[in-house]
Amino acid sequence: MSETAFCYHCRTHHPKEEMRLIDTKAGKRWRCIRSIEATKKGRLEREAYGRQVTAMNKAEAQRKARLVLNGRTATTPP
């Protein structure tokens, strides 16, 4: 099983082979190659990439919320 790292840009875990360690003001952080390449494109393409990442994060948050809600409903006595 390959190790993963958390991408601070798109807020998901990726295999370390797809990541680069970037120096930031706050220190070193992992960032996926896909997000690095997206910054090299034009404004419209960057905005489209940002909307795509936002949609993925929103879907994941909704999925987790449903799991929590269903878990509480299933364990709560009537």
More confident residue, 2 or 39: 39
- Domains contained in the chain, number: 1
Range of the domain at 43: 4-75
The DSSP secondary-structure symbol of 69 reads H
User: Could you give the 3-state DSSP secondary structure of residue 2?
Assistant: coil
Q: What is the pTM of this model?
A: 0.56
Per-residue pLDDT band for 4 (boundaries 50, 70, 90) equals very high
- At 46-58, the pLDDT tens digits run 899 889 989 988 9
Residue 18 near residue 33 (C-beta atoms within 8 A): yes
The DSSP secondary-structure symbol of 23 reads E
